[in-house]
Amino acid sequence: MELIDLFLAFASLLFLAFWWRRSFSSSSSAASKAILPPGPPGWPFVGNLFQIILQRRHFIFAIPDLRKKYGPMFTMKMGQRTLVIVTSPDLIHEALVQKGSSFASRPPDSPIRLVFSIGKCAVNSAEYGPLWRALRRNFVSELISPLRVKQCGWIRDWALERHMGRLEAESKRAGFVDVMDTCRFTVCQILVCICFGAKISEEWIRDIDNVTKEVMLITMPHLPDFFPILTPLFGKQMRKAKQLRKVQVECLLPLINNRRAFVQKGEGPNSEMVSPVGAAYVDSLFGLDAPGRGRLGDQELVTLCTEVFVAGIDTSTSVLQWVFYELVVNQGIQEKLYGEIVERVGKEGRIGEEHVETMPYLNAIIKESLRVHSPAHFTLSHAATEETELGGYRIPADVNVEFYIEWMTEDPSLWKDPEVFRPERFLDGDGVGVDMTGTKGAVKMLPFGAGRRTCPGLSLGVLHVNLMLARMVQKFKWVPVPEYPPDPTETFAFTVVMKNPLKAAIVPRL
């Protein structure tokens, strides 16, 4: 520890003692006026934080037991932060849809996340208000509108052709394929091209993917998130975060600058800049007037482009990994899917984006995978815009409201044999007509959240998963590798993934 760290530590402790006395003697804070739902009793100062840490499992895996004990909505004190955990489908629907605008904000970011969000200048982190509205409107129209999705179809074709080649090469080299790893690379390649309109080297894609992974890990909740007051004590982590931010900017800024020069020259596409001016997401950001910020600077551009990778890579590839896990262990389901593909386009026919929408069994498999293996057990953290009533309690604006979307997919009163992977339930069973967006009333699964902050990438994410799955199953039969038996144990690494990444052998179908 350097001298300055020691000094800051001492100053923090003094401040902490002051804060502790003040917050526990005062009865006028918003939280103390509000009536929060009861929850597990905590320890002085740290609340429930160490009870969770001592369980040696990630917070999300502790929720089912707490839900059993404290009911559909309960409160947890995690250091300085108060978390209201909402688990019942009715309350989640009430908060996110019926009272949508009241629960549409985000809580304060941790000091480390602020380094990467540049003061919450991203769709996912911006507070509910004009900046979020402008960023989200731009995101939807410039990245995922039907017109843009159609315009970028060739990017997926190009990347998926290479993907097939990489699968074959990896299988030849190692004897199996690491599903998550190979799919990650391809999804990253697609998103980089959509974002910057450029084809870049494979090394550069890997660098972007690696730095994105590191950013996701460093911005996951750590001790300082729960004790912002102690931030000065965590100088080392802060320096590490700033260094990583520098690496991230060095990795992405050249792409932004190249694209800016191309847009300014107004040239036509070439072998590197493959999308015409106006067709890449970043083009729309150059001219965007962001409320409260004005024209966006380089740092904000890096953050907004990174958001596409952070939000779009892990989620989609985690879904793919779980789907392949199920296909490898349930060969009957895989063959039924192959049958649907052959019937629709033939053994060698090109599977287009227009085909995957009209393959009921393919879609049922994805929905069942999202139900049984949702990559997100929680939505992102929400916050009320002002003190608001929910389930008979008053929720103040200064607490995190955490929506646990996992429980509704495990609830035996909503699903028959909820633990069983059975895509057919979406064709003729308890999944028929299920609405994944929460717009039609009662909810049974919300893997993308619901309401104002619902995932804007739903259609793009599902398209990537559908298309990759269909093409990978058309070309290869996927079978287990005896040395690495598929193991469904879960772990949390930004999304819920397989603790032992799936390795599968591939057998060409033709």
Binding residues for heme: 455
C-beta of 67 vs 382, nearer to ligand HEM: 382
376 binds ligand HEM (CB under 6 A): yes
Q: Alpha carbon 117 to chain centroid distance?
A: 15
C-alpha distances out from residue 484 to 173, 182, 339, 473, 504, Å: 16, 17, 27, 20, 8
C-beta of 342 vs 458, nearer to ligand HEM: 458
C-alpha distances out from residue 329 to 142, 172, 323, 421, Å: 39, 22, 10, 11
Both tokens of 361, joined, read: 């069994």
Residues 6 or more apart in contact with residue 111 via CB below 8 angstroms: 224, 228, 231, 238
Distance CA 59, CA 381 (A): 14
Distance CA 304, CA 217 (A): 18
16 binds ligand HEM (CB under 6 A): no
Contact call for residues 216 and 314 (beta carbons, < 8 A): yes
Both tokens of 364, joined, read: 């049922």
Distance CA 22, CA 50 (A): 23
Distance CA 292, CA 282 (A): 20
C-beta of 262 vs 403, nearer to ligand HEM: 403
Please report how close the Cβ of residue 411 comes to ligand HEM at its closest, in angstroms. Answer: 18
CB atoms inside a 10 Å sphere around CB 99: 17
Residue nearest to ligand HEM (CB): 457
Tell me the number of residues near ligand HEM by CB under 6 A: 25
DSSP 231: G
Dihedrals φ, ψ of 366, to 5°? -65, -45
Instruction: Tell me the window of 309-317, 334-342, 355-363, 437-445 that interacts with ligand HEM (CB under 6 A).
Output: 309-317
Site for ligand HEM in 107-126 (CB under 6 A): 123-124
Instruction: Tell me the window of 77-85, 334-342, 426-434, 450-458 that interacts with ligand HEM (CB under 6 A).
Output: 450-458
Both tokens of 426, joined, read: 């979406």
Instruction: Tell me the window of 78-86, 110-118, 307-315, 349-357 that interacts with ligand HEM (CB under 6 A).
Output: 307-315
C-beta of 97 vs 233, nearer to ligand HEM: 97
Residue bearing tokens 């793009």? 460
316 binds ligand HEM (CB under 6 A): yes
Give the amino acid at 281. Answer: Y
Among positions 66, 84, 180, 308, the unique one binding ligand HEM when judged by CB under 6 A = 308
Among positions 107, 232, 438, 457, the unique one binding ligand HEM when judged by CB under 6 A = 457
C-beta of 233 vs 462, nearer to ligand HEM: 462
Among positions 315, 321, 369, 388, the unique one binding ligand HEM when judged by CB under 6 A = 315
Instruction: Tell me the window of 219-227, 249-257, 269-277, 313-321 that interacts with ligand HEM (CB under 6 A).
Output: 313-321
Among positions 453, 471, 475, 503, the unique one binding ligand HEM when judged by CB under 6 A = 453
Please report how close the Cβ of residue 192 comes to ligand HEM at its closest, in angstroms. Answer: 12
Site for ligand HEM in 317-336 (CB under 6 A): 319
447 binds ligand HEM (CB under 6 A): yes
Instruction: Tell me the window of 108-116, 310-318, 355-363, 434-442 that interacts with ligand HEM (CB under 6 A).
Output: 310-318
For 162: left if phi > 0, alpha if psi spans -120 to 50, otherwise beta; the answer is alpha
460 binds ligand HEM (CB under 6 A): yes
C-beta of 396 vs 461, nearer to ligand HEM: 461
C-beta of 39 vs 457, nearer to ligand HEM: 457
The strand pairing partners of 383, in sequence order, are 105
Among positions 311, 384, 408, 497, the unique one binding ligand HEM when judged by CB under 6 A = 311
Reduced to 3 states, what is the DSSP secondary structure of residue 103? helix
Element (H, E) at 284: helix 281-286
184 binds ligand HEM (CB under 6 A): no
290 binds ligand HEM (CB under 6 A): no
Contact call for residues 356 and 470 (beta carbons, < 8 A): yes
Q: Which of these, 362, 315, 312, lies nearest to 341 by C-alpha position?
A: 362
375 binds ligand HEM (CB under 6 A): yes
180 binds ligand HEM (CB under 6 A): no
Contact call for residues 194 and 280 (beta carbons, < 8 A): yes
448 binds ligand HEM (CB under 6 A): yes
Residues flagged as binding site = 455
Distance CA 339, CA 343 (A): 6
Alpha helix (H) ranges present in 346-437?
Answer: 353-356, 360-372, 407-410, 425-428
136 binds ligand HEM (CB under 6 A): yes
Please report how close the Cβ of residue 308 comes to ligand HEM at its closest, in angstroms. Answer: 5
Interface residue list for ligand HEM (CB under 6 A): 123-124, 136, 307-308, 311-312, 315-316, 319, 375-376, 379-380, 447-449, 453-457, 460-461, 465
